[in-house]
Amino acid sequence: MPHQRKTRTKFIDGAEPRHIRRTRQIRLEVAAEAARILATEGQQNYHAAKKKAAERIGVSERLALPSNLEVKDALSIYQALYGGAAHRDNIDNLRHIALQAMQLLEVFQPRLVGSVLDGTANAHSRIALHVFADSVESVVFHFLERNLPFGQEQRQIRWFNGEHRIVPIVVFELEEAEIELTVFDLLHLRQSPPSPIDGRPQHRADFAEVEYLLADKKGAGYIYRG
């Protein structure tokens, strides 16, 4: 009989090893649970939500923590499935209040950012605005002059060049919503810092764009896709 060569079995093109498929499935499960935590438990920090989700599912953080973008996508899906009219009404309400705040702060060229803009905010979310002034004192004086109560905070954010920088934040309430103003120099109006979600330049919406989102009631207006 002729000698038969032994052949090695190769993976079919496109097939993945089982452990890779399992890791991906775990990441999806952690992202889904983190999204539920963000939507229902008042948690605002993505990393904390991911850690809690991994603990509940019983998996290693190093093995299965999804990216912030994966969690945000899962959050959008969760809110679309379970949020219903209550979620849409909450987003509308927060955007209306954002417009009031933007009018109040018109001199600082405010821009809406974050979860109220992209439609993933919940009942506990702050309205986040970027404002632009020669100093944080200018913003503080604006509140003092109008006898409006406010607080001050600081936060470390990733900067344009990849480094981290501490930025000043002014916090106040309007129509029972909490609003945070991150104060930037005037020259940073056209250069947005990276998003903590996907690392791309953070989208900012001016007054007219927020008005447009509120006017667009046929789907895309609730979730910003830019």
SS3 at position 88: helix
DSSP letter for 6, please.
Answer: P
Q: Report pLDDT for 42.
A: 81
- Report strand pairing: 111-113 vs 127-132: antiparallel
pLDDT tens-digit profile of 87-106? Answer: 999 999 999 999 999 999 99
What amino acid occupies position 89? D
pTM of the model: 0.82
Residues in the chain: 226
Q: With 60 as the cut, is the pLDDT of residue 131 above it?
A: yes
Distance in angstroms between the alpha carbons of the first and the last residue of the chain:
68
- Which amino acid is present at 155? R
- Are 105 and 97 in contact by the 8 Å Cβ rule? The answer is no
CA distance 214 to 89: 11
Q: What pLDDT, in 10s, does the model give residues 198-215?
A: 889 999 999 999 999 999
Q: Is residue 115 within 8 Å of residue 91, measured between CB atoms? A: no
Give the E-state strand segments of 77-163 in sequence order: 111-113, 127-132, 151-158
